[in-house]
Amino acid sequence: MTETQPTPAAPVGAPPPGPIVVLRARFPMASRICERIILGIGLLLASSILIFAGIEILPGDFAETYLGQAATPQAIANLRAEFGLDQPLMSRYFDWLVGILHGDFGTSWASGQSVSGQIADRLGNSLLLAGAAAVIAVPLAVGLGLLAVLYRDRLVDRLINLVSLSAVSLPEFFVAYLLIMVFVVQHPVAAFPATVYDSMGLWEKLQTIILPVATLVLVVIAHMMRMTRAAIINVMASAYMETAELKGIGAMRAIVKHAAPNALAPIINVVALNLAYLIVGVVVVEVVFVYPGMGQYMVDAVTVRDLPVVQGCGLVFAAIYILLNMTADILSILVNPRLRHPR
pLDDT of residue 338: 61
Q: Which of 54, 35, 36, 37 is nearest to 315 (CA)?
A: 54
pLDDT of residue 49: 92
pLDDT of residue 41: 93
Q: Which of 181, 170, 167, 133 is nearest to 288 (CA)?
A: 181
The pLDDT tens digits of the residues spanning 61-72 come to 667 766 767 777
Domain boundaries, the chain: 22-101, 115-325
Name the fold adopted by 115-325. Answer: MetI-like fold (1.10.3720)
Quote the CA–CA distance of 129 and 292 in Å, as a whole number: 11
pLDDT of residue 26: 66
Model pTM?
Answer: 0.77
User: DSSP labels for 196-261?
Assistant: --TTS-HHHHHHHTHHHHHHHHHHHHHHHHHHHHHHHHHHHTSHHHHHHHHTT--HHHIIIIIIHH
pLDDT of residue 4: 46
Quote the CA–CA distance of 277 and 116 in Å, as a whole number: 23
pLDDT of residue 193: 55
Quote the CA–CA distance of 34 and 16 in Å, as a whole number: 23
Which residue numbers in the chain have pLDDT < 50? Answer: 1-5, 7
